[in-house]
Amino acid sequence: MAVEWAGSGPELLITIDRDSAVGLRTQLENQLRDAIRGGRLASDERLPSSRELARALRLSRGLVQDCYAQLQAEGYLTSRAGSATRVAAATAPRTDAPPAPSPPVTRPRHAIADFRSGVPDLGLMPREDWAWAIREVCRTSPNSAFDYGDPLGEQSLRDVLAAYLRRVRAVAATGDRLVICAGMAQALGLVLQALAADGIGTVAFEDPGPGTSTPRLAAAAGMTAVPVAVDEDGIDVAALDRSGARAVLVTPAHQWPTGVVLAGHRRQEMIAWARRCGGVIIEDDYDAEFRYDRDPVGSLQGLAPDCVISLGTVSKSLAPALRLGWIVAPPRLLGALAEGKRLADRGSPGLDQLALATLIESGRYDRHLRRMRAEYATRRVTLIDALSRHAPGLRVTGLAAGFHAVLHLPAGTDENALIDEARRRGVGLYGMAALRHSGGTAPPQLVLGFGDTGKRAIEAGIAAVADLLGPDS
């Protein structure tokens, strides 16, 4: 009968077959040797003690000690008095071992400044508050909180979020109409799948807008994605009507990336369009938390909860790594959304959901947002001042909210050449062309993010590329 053992050191499976004609010590030696040669045991990895291994395999300790001694003599193992037996550092795996994984792709580092947009200040994530919330959840939650949860999300978080969204964003929501998900990409993917199942085959998106992400998610749901132009009042609703789409993704509070706010008359026109064609508006409540010199703009969903789906996340307000977002949907779509979430991952991490609920209920979330608004407001002023000194005369727009701005370059500027030269100088700049569906570079514009770029880096970065921004560059 074979005996299997998973080692207390490395996860190593050893099988001893007492019915085999091969001796027990030989079996053990061969399997350990093969594990080292094949790379299952890495260099310097610890092996269990001879006593523990003998006990687990029901062998004599002397047999295991003899096995270890033999492999040590062959150069496979090392051992010192008072220290564990380990795989010899010089031992190499066989040439047919699986190749080492490729190193992870990393974002290029810019020595002076990186004006990447869409990312908050990762250093200002309220780590102590988050750790406190996690500890509170672990300390006070019942045992049932550690079970598989509802795919729609923890009811306590859904109720807390609904109350928060009603208070802060004028969303028409109750906890029963929320779905907790893993960030914006999953939220949009789940919504598009639900709409496709409901018979909608085409979704429109803003241009310039989210690049290729929306078309890819639409294709994955079996839908077609079509771009619709954005002007100074937001998305062109007449063009939307002509597109034939019955769903549209918009960022009405602070359009990504132009920064315009969807005008009041466009909001009414879009709602009328949705009701006329039986369509759905998908509202990405992008950058709604961070506003400066304008009155608050309420959620579009609050005006027409029957035909608007609202999406939100804590990726900008806390950190992208938390992977927590939500969907506020009309009741008719909740069943499809719940099933899609169940099939996708059975539900978002329950303890993180409870921690977010605790953070909001305690007031620490609001306090953090107030700190972040003040910090981003200061950086916004720094950026405006730096541009006024180093690139006077260039128009800057999109600064009423969020933490990015659009810099309008002189006509005829080679946007791509400017970006390449800036990077050679250690400054990360990003153009509008990458966010246009056509990829066109006219008019030339830069999208300057300052969420994860400090005040000193903003000043130094603009100064380093000042000569590139003028009309004679």
Poorest-confidence range of 58-67, 188-197, 318-327? 58-67
Mean pLDDT value across the chain: 89
> Which amino acid, residue 328?
V
- Is pLDDT above 50 for 6? no
Helix (H, G, I), strand (E, B) or coil at 38: coil
Predicted pLDDT of residue 12: 61
- Is pLDDT above 90 for 56? no
Token pair for 29: 């030696």
Task: Report d(CA 404, CA 384) in Å as an integer.
Answer: 11
- Is pLDDT above 50 for 380? yes
Q: Which of the listed ranges 82-91, 92-101, 373-382 does the model predict with the highest average pLDDT? A: 373-382
Return the H-helix or E-strand segment holding 9: none
Predicted pLDDT of residue 174: 95
Mean per-residue pLDDT, 204-226: 91
DSSP codes joined into one string, 180-219: EESHHHHHHHHHHHHHHHTT--EEEEEESSSTTHHHHHHH
Q: H-type helices in 264-349, by residue range?
A: 264-277, 331-345
Q: 10 Å Cβ neighbour count for 321?
A: 10
Which residue in the block uniquely carries the two structure tokens 């500890």? 135
Contacts from 456-462 at CB under 8 Å and sequence distance 24+?
457/112, 457/113, 457/114, 458/113, 458/379, 458/382, 458/383, 458/386, 459/382, 459/386, 460/112, 460/113, 461/112, 461/113, 461/114, 461/115, 461/427, 462/113, 462/383, 462/386, 462/387, 462/390, 462/391
Nearest C-alpha neighbor of 150 from the set 359, 342, 351: 342
Return the H-helix or E-strand segment holding 179: strand 178-181
- Is pLDDT above 50 for 165? yes
- Is pLDDT above 90 for 46? no
Pick 126-365's CATH classification: 2.30.130.60, 3.40.640.10, 3.40.50.1820, 1.20.1260.10. 3.40.640.10
- Is pLDDT above 90 for 184? yes
Predicted pLDDT of residue 441: 83
Helix (H, G, I), strand (E, B) or coil at 221: coil
Note the pLDDT tens digit of each residue in 439-450: 888 899 999 999
Using pLDDT thresholds of 50, 70 and 90, give the confidence band for residue 50: confident
- Is pLDDT above 90 for 186? yes
Nearest C-alpha neighbor of 323 from the set 220, 186, 426: 186
Q: Does domain 2-87 have CATH number 1.10.10.10?
A: yes
DSSP codes joined into one string, 387-452: HHHHSTT--EE--SBTTEEEEEPPTT--HHHHHHHHHHTTEE--BGGGGSTT----S-EEEEE-TT
Using pLDDT thresholds of 50, 70 and 90, give the confidence band for residue 47: confident
Predicted pLDDT of residue 110: 83
Q: CA gyration radius for the chain?
A: 29
Predicted pLDDT of residue 7: 44
Cβ pair 254, 402 in contact under 8 A: yes
Predicted pLDDT of residue 304: 95
Domain boundaries, the chain: 2-87, 113-119+367-469, 126-365
- Is pLDDT above 80 for 82? no
- Is pLDDT above 80 for 471? no
Cβ pair 70, 110 in contact under 8 A: no
CA distances from 331 to 15, 56, 176, 302 (A): 55, 56, 9, 15
Predicted pLDDT of residue 422: 96
Task: Report d(CA 324, CA 120) in Å as an integer.
Answer: 15
Return the H-helix or E-strand segment holding 467: helix 466-469
Token pair for 175: 């906890």
- Is pLDDT above 50 for 5? no
Predicted pLDDT of residue 28: 87
Cβ pair 154, 357 in contact under 8 A: yes
Give the CATH H-level superfamily of domain 113-119+367-469.
Aspartate Aminotransferase, domain 1 (3.90.1150.10)
Task: Report d(CA 181, CA 193) in Å as an integer.
Answer: 14
Phi/psi of residue 328, nearest 5 degrees: -110, 115
Using pLDDT thresholds of 50, 70 and 90, give the confidence band for residue 92: low
Cβ pair 448, 117 in contact under 8 A: yes
